[in-house]
Amino acid sequence: MARSAIEWTESTWNPVTGCTKISLGCRHCYAERMSKRLKAMGHPNYTNGFRLTTHEHVLEMPLRWKRPQAIFVNSMSDLFHEEVPTEFIAKVFMVMTAASHHRFQVLTKRSGRLRELAPKLPWPSNVWMGVSVETEEHIYRIDHLKQTDAFIKFVSFEPLLGPISDLDMEGIDWVIVGGESGPGARRMDPAWARRIRDQCLAANVPFFFKQWGGVNKKRNGRLLDGTIWDQMPVKNLIAESANC
């Protein structure tokens, strides 16, 4: 288990590492930078650097973690990458189903493959499925997400690289917005974040503002119009309450 500094989760689990760039949001990939660093440090899971690699020995780790927690799946890769075998994806879902005391958060840019495989996968209530959308050009990923049977469907607009209007929020349970961070970070216009927030409020969709980003993201903070937005999916809270 790796403790995470990502604001909307608690831990990370990486049965897959490495990836390839497919859209604008990938340009300054933090996972690529981190993979190179971990390889240089001699970490055994990053011997291949950022080349996509599956790790069978990591699969059952969540079953050994007794404390219930929110787990970001493949923070260092994309589970639905075309090079990840379908059988391996199925194994990941089997573990998530078995580890029902955890909440798993899966995020992908490969929404086409997600839509293709979704009918063949189990969708227990502890598995949240999300897609990354950085510009209006990638709104189609939300449509693909809606075609799955995921209990919680969420959208991460991070890094948000342009204005996005007229969102169809039907079927979406949670929205995250964040600016790009790290070297070469591209600026997020405050009006872009406000526009998405206002659409969420109008549609009664929980809104989470992760960060302004920039080279020094801590200094830039998380306040949007003087408020920290940490809203979470209502459906999940009801489900967890029912299971108590």
Asked if residue 37 belongs to a domain, the reply is no
Q: What is the pLDDT of residues 214-224, one digit of tens each?
A: 888 888 899 99
Q: What is the mean pLDDT of residues 222-241?
A: 83
Per-residue pLDDT tens for 122-176?
A: 999 999 999 999 999 999 999 999 999 999 999 999 999 999 989 999 999 999 9
Residue 50 lies in a domain: no
pLDDT in tens, 47-94: 999 999 999 999 999 999 999 999 999 999 999 999 999 999 999 999
Asked if residue 236 has pLDDT above 70, the reply is no
In a domain, 233, yes or no: yes
Asked if 4 and 81 count as a contact pair (C-beta separation under 8 A), the reply is: no
Q: Quick one: 203 exposed, middle or buried, by C-beta within 10 A (0-12, 13-18, 19+)? A: middle
Domain count, the chain: 1
Percent of the chain topping pLDDT 70? 96
Residue 30: inside a domain, yes or no?
Answer: no
Q: By the 8 A CB rule, do 87 and 121 touch?
A: no
pTM of the model: 0.94
Closest to 81 in 3D by CA, of 15, 137, 135, 13: 15
Is residue 69 domain-resident?
yes
216: Cβ contacts below 8 Å, ≥ 6 apart:
none
Is position 36 within any domain? no
**Does residue 76 sit within a domain?**
yes
Q: Which domain holds residue 191?
A: 2-14+55-242
H or E stretch covering 111: helix 111-117
Q: Which CATH number does the domain housing residue 186 bear?
A: 3.20.20
- Residue 29 maps to a domain: no
